[in-house]
Structure 1
């Protein structure tokens, strides 16, 4: 059955993004036993390491030989708080498996796509009315390779039956390491991720594939690319050499991505036609028409200059 795609421009009556910068003294995770389902790879592996650094008692399961416990059921018997860090395609199946064992526990899922996960949780809540479990949906907007949370974004998307203060304390768990924490309702999350993830990933992979098909040696391209252009190549490499299944599942499970990349395709064709017909004035107008949209973000020009200069210094030292 195909996805029922939702218009990117559909009006959704939900609050704006809300930022948190408060402090609390007691962390909900301190003194708790924490379980991580999917803890041997990806963000699950990062989370296990981060929890251990915080001196929190943690165990994990995984679908490979590195699992610390033989089953998710045994992990649920151990844990008070459970993080669900499995691939997008496994979310529904694993939620069905573990939900009957969540009595009195807190389930925190970290999926990159929210709508279908929240709907699955609501369905299971109706199916098991006697199971009282707290539920929280978050999205850490970073990968497992990071070494510091400073400046990294973590989105809180939905909570249900959470005890008073626990969500705030969980936010503080990340805030104390200087992460940026935001409240973003799950429908608006998926809509914005259609652009932040869907469009950017699509753009990267099409551009990288074009580079791979172009008849020129990769090292030659790198050698003549000044720092602004090397930034693009750096991120082509970063994304292409990671697990493609994750990106496939983001592209195909977020209902907003399809419309975003359809717009991308239309704009690509428009710009292609302008270049093919050598319509210089049309090309100039094409760019000028979008300038008002970006005018309020002019301060990022300074950010880009800083990044370019920093990369230039790094490359000089490396060479």
Structure 2
């Protein structure tokens, strides 16, 4: 782009909105922000912007898109930043005449840089803006993954839906058992401490965000059903003390993970080594 690009962030006073304001300003863009707290309205922000970025809670994203879409120039770009892509992308295509890209920044607003952070882009209607957006993220060290909304939501049902579900289940089971986290750490290996760190990290976030992630991705239903069935099978194997079946279950999982097992052990060894060096 030869001239300065104007970025309009709808929801720009939220944490992710503020992150993108700083990011695009650092990359020499002019940034406008609009929310319920600003004098500039979302509609006026959309009119004045080359790139309109919708950064609002998942449950209101489609409504905001419908509200602002007709104000966006056909030469501009409309982006949403939710962790679910199918419905927002459909809404953008239906209600706007401009270029459309679904975007999922797979990181939180407190990251210090985009180095090795993943940004998923779902190009839906593009000409000039996809390369510009891809370039600006890659120039800052991000890993850009191109996908479709359907494939994105399928992957997120495991990466987020299944992962967060199992994490919350561990925490709730410990509560039900009356096991003190602090006391358990006195008995624990570094691997367990690392696992508890991941549990605690999620529990230190905004619960409404995780509720939306779990409940608004329709693909989560099948994923959680598969998880429940797998857990039930393993529980039955353990309760009946069927060692042969346990080994088959374990080896089946190991074979499925394949070459990633060695990589995972190497990475986790590094993390554990760094963790035990802390005072």
2:80 aligns with 109
Question: What is the deviation of 1:210?
Answer: 1.4
CA RMSD, Structure 1 to Structure 2 (Å) = 1.8
State the distance in 1 between where 2:17 and 2:186 align. 37
Look up the match of 2:12: 39
Any stretches of 5+ residues in structure 2 without a counterpart?
A: none
TM superposition shift of 1:148: 1.6
Q: Deviations over 1:150-173 (max 9, x none)?
A: 11111111231x333x21121111
Q: CA deviation at 1:174?
A: 0.9
Distance in 1, matches of 2:239 and 2:276, equals: 34
Aligned pair 1:134/2:99, yes or no?
yes
Mark the CA change 1:73 to 1:37 in structure 2 (over 3 Å): closer, same or farther.
same
Give the whole-Å Cα distance in 2 for the aligned partners of 1:40 and 1:237: 27
User: Would you say the 8 A contact 2:42–2:68 is kept in 1?
Assistant: yes
In structure 2, the CA distance between the partners of 1:219 and 1:58, relative to structure 1 (3 Å rule), is same
Report how far residue 54 of structure 1 moved.
2.6
Aligned residues of 1:59 and 1:68 also touching (Cα < 8 A): no
Query: 1:200-222: CA deviations, max 9, x gaps?
Result: 11111111211233323221122
Q: Which residue of 2 aligns with 1:14?
A: none
Q: Secondary structure of 1:299's match?
A: helix
Q: Which moved more, 1:283-292 or 1:69-78?
A: 69-78
Correspondence 1:98 to 2:68:
yes
How far, CA to CA, are the matches of 1:82 and 1:152 in structure 2? 22
Aligned equivalent of 2:48: 78
In the alignment, the residues of structure 1 paired with residue 123 and residue 212 of structure 2 have an alpha-carbon distance, to the nearest angstrom, of 21
The answer as to whether partners of 2:89 and 2:124 remain within 8 angstroms in 1 is: no
3-state SS, counterpart of residue 149 of structure 1: coil
Matched, 1:157 2:122: yes
In structure 2, relative to structure 1, the CA distance for the partners of 1:307 and 1:156 (3 Å cut) is: same
Query: Displacement, 1:141?
Result: 0.8
1:1-319 alignment runs, 5 A limit: 31-63=4-36, 67-104=37-74, 105-125=76-96, 132-160=97-125, 162-164=126-128, 166-297=129-260, 298-314=262-278, 317=279
**CA shift in 2, pair 1:227/1:254, >3 Å:** same
Output the CA distance in 2 between the equivalents of 1:53 and 1:115: 30
Relative contact order, higher structure (CA 8 A, sep 6+): 1
Instruction: Say if 1:60 and 1:69, in contact at 8 Å, map to a contact too.
Output: no
Q: CA deviation at 1:69?
A: 2.9
Q: TM-score normalized by structure 2? A: 0.92
SS of equivalent to 1:99: helix
Number of residue-to-residue matches in the alignment = 277
SS of match in other structure, 1:273:
helix
Q: Secondary structure at the match of 2:162?
A: helix
For structure 1, the residue ranges without an aligned partner over 5 or more in a row are 1-25, 126-131
The DSSP-based 3-state class of the residue aligned with 1:224 is: coil
Is 1:69–1:75's contact at 8 Å kept on the other side of the alignment?
Answer: no
Does structure 1 retain, via aligned residues, the 8 Å contact 2:103–2:121? yes
SS of the residue corresponding to residue 112 of structure 2 reads coil
